[in-house]
Structure 1
């Protein structure tokens, strides 16, 4: 097997200031996972990148009116509406360079003006979905667990931010198994297979037999279905399950057949199962992640933590794919991409931040 060609510029530490498209093509054919760093404003650099060249975008842009980053840039607009407009112009260009099966993960914090919470993250999200054609798949709540000092006396403390997952098409790359938590194992008790939470099926069998809400035919079908599910548990095809039986347990979510398929199934069959994946459960849309400290990076103060990047990259960037952060700052997204053996591209207007990003990446060697 022929070894991938290494470009000379990739074997030395350095930041690219021009020729972005050509350097991207060289980078794609190389074997390195060290990030490709591009100096310039996000919109200008993105315009030079080719269509459908990026697999996944994970980013946290500067927040409006919060702080002044090195070398200026977005977030310093006098009116938050101009900030939303400028940001969305970048995201429209980003949509062009993202592959059709790619994903865009956007972390944004909100801002106040004249005591009004502006709702900036959702203003951006609605602009992207209503006017740019993005599909919003998840709105994740990042619970920062603890917050900084908050001396306000007339509102609650702010400890959450939004993380939006956007895609371009209905079908896109998503590896749910890569982010599942390890499931608890089944066990054998007195010769009977018992699920991870102690379900053996005995209680359900008794409920079926004693039911006055099921017909004889429905009882027969319920017993057969239960035996099949218990077999799946014994063979490791399921880690756990719940059985919902008409007249015994209430339908999950809703008991109205018009809005709940489960309620309709309960009405028509008399039972249904909730089956748990043998590889474990997926993460929910609330993430408890403590913000990053400065990690000895005195010139940059964003709380964007490494753990915020892991699920997006694992789930939506193939192992041979490329992750892009158009506001990479000191390179947290890029660092995590390298830890997960993915290529990455970072764009930033600040040479100082790119130098710091480079230092972090090379520290993994």
Structure 2
């Protein structure tokens, strides 16, 4: 199976073989969540290799990934704590790529342990092919400030390297039938930061199709490789559904700054906030406006600025 839907290409096959078929320097960004070798059941494969087998497998696909990546390209790799140091070593020492960031994805719920501390995070390694020349669109991924100040960049602050997104729980209506589905908000931040519109983004381990779904709705061309044909069918169905907003958002995105006291600045900022931070998260707009209401309703009534609440059907 090799299918293209809305500029998103689904390749059903073995990851190493399919990567070897791809041209040199043909993609701008790689964002992927490979198997962690923790004995997960992926239907057509069991994620349980001997240590040396897993390291050799990782070297093979990462070597191909580097070859395929453009000179100014970036790779983000999710990895569990058991193997992340080995993946780091492969990327830096074996392949000569350049370390940029070690991102911690913090979530509030995870595996429970009675002896030892329960894990509450996964990690994401960000490496670039060139040390200095790589895409990074900071303005596209900023998060809202806590306070309004004229000297601040009100487009927001750098999100830092600790990101808080909830798991996509099984009760979530957008949950797919896949054991390791990742939040779209995570992929949105990486894809917006490290690629531009119409760029080609690759995910060598397609899984539930999160990467392609984000590419589809941020005007990128996506390619994914997935071994399990059932998951390929799932991805196809996901891409054919109407877009209703991404399934997760950084909670800071609904934060309304304090001290928005100037009426003209306040209303301009409120509309800008929705466009800057929430354009792919329509479910979060009412949450943001409820915070606006709690802080500024009296002033907005006085200055006749309540039409924004009417537009989004917020009672006041």
Please confirm whether the aligned pair reaches a TM-score higher than 0.5, indicating the same fold: yes
Q: Which residue of 2 aligns with 1:129?
A: 92
1:188-227 correspondence to structure 2 within 5 Å: 196=149
**1:299 CA drift (Å):** 4.0
Please say if residues 179 and 283 of structure 1, whose CA atoms lie closer than 8 Å, have aligned partners that are also in contact. yes
The separation in 1 between residues aligned to 2:141 and 2:120, in whole angstroms, is 24
Q: Which residue of 1 aligns with 2:59?
A: 88
Which one has a bigger Cα radius of gyration?
1
Give deviations 1:88-129, integer Å, cap 9, x for gaps. 21011011111111111111123xxxxxxxx31121111210
**1:344 CA drift (Å):** 0.4
- 2:268 maps to 1:282: no
- SS of residue in 1 equivalent to 2:2: coil
- SS of residue in 1 equivalent to 2:104: strand
Please say if residues 181 and 208 of structure 2, whose CA atoms lie closer than 8 Å, have aligned partners that are also in contact. no
The separation in 1 between residues aligned to 2:16 and 2:208, in whole angstroms, is 19
- Where does structure 1 lack aligned partners over 5 or more consecutive residues? 1-14, 18-26, 111-118, 187-195, 197-232, 240-276
- SS of residue in 1 equivalent to 2:126: strand
1:1-365 correspondence to structure 2 within 5 Å: 15-16=1-2, 33-72=6-45, 75-77=47-49, 79-110=50-81, 119-148=82-111, 150=112, 152-170=113-131, 171-183=133-145, 196=149, 233=150, 238-239=151-152, 277-294=153-170, 295=173, 299-364=177-242
Change beyond 3 A, Cα 1:51–1:146: same
**1:147 CA drift (Å):** 1.2
- SS of residue in 1 equivalent to 2:17: helix
Give deviations 1:214-236, integer Å, cap 9, x for gaps. xxxxxxxxxxxxxxxxxxx5xxx
The normalised TM-score by structure 1 is 0.62
**1:134 CA drift (Å):** 1.2
- Where does structure 2 lack aligned partners over 5 or more consecutive residues? 244-316
Please say if residues 34 and 361 of structure 1, whose CA atoms lie closer than 8 Å, have aligned partners that are also in contact. no
Please say if residues 33 and 342 of structure 1, whose CA atoms lie closer than 8 Å, have aligned partners that are also in contact. no
**1:296 CA drift (Å):** 6.7
The separation in 2 between residues aligned to 1:62 and 1:155, in whole angstroms, is 24
Change beyond 3 A, Cα 1:341–1:296: closer
The separation in 2 between residues aligned to 1:36 and 1:163, in whole angstroms, is 24
Change beyond 3 A, Cα 1:336–1:292: same
> What is the total number of aligned residue pairs between the two structures?
240
- SS of residue in 2 equivalent to 1:57: strand
Give deviations 1:150-204, integer Å, cap 9, x for gaps. 2x33200011111111110021111111111244775xxxxxxxxx2xxxxxxxx
Please say if residues 293 and 303 of structure 1, whose CA atoms lie closer than 8 Å, have aligned partners that are also in contact. no
The separation in 2 between residues aligned to 1:296 and 1:313, in whole angstroms, is 20
The separation in 2 between residues aligned to 1:121 and 1:362, in whole angstroms, is 34
